[in-house]
Amino acid sequence: MRLTPYLLSALLLLAMLGSTDAAPATIEGSWSGSGIAKLRNRTDRTVCRVSFARIEGKSFRVSALCSTGGRRFGESGRVTSAGGNRYTGWVFNEQFNERGNVQLSQRGSRLSVTVTSSRGIANLTLSRG
Q: For residue 126, what are the CA distances in angstroms to 19, 28, 35, 63?
A: 21, 13, 9, 14
**Which residue ranges of the chain lie beneath pLDDT 70?**
1-25
Per DSSP, the three-state class of 12 is helix
pLDDT digits (tens, 9 = 90+) for 48-59: 999 999 999 999
pLDDT at 45: 97
pLDDT at 4: 35
pLDDT at 19: 37
Phi, psi at 85, each rounded to 5°: -105, 20
pLDDT at 96: 87
pLDDT at 25: 62
Phi, psi at 96, each rounded to 5°: -105, 5
pLDDT at 39: 86
pLDDT at 80: 97
pLDDT digits (tens, 9 = 90+) for 91-114: 999 988 999 999 999 999 999 999
pLDDT at 41: 87
What share of the chain has pLDDT > 70, as a percent? Answer: 81
pLDDT at 23: 44
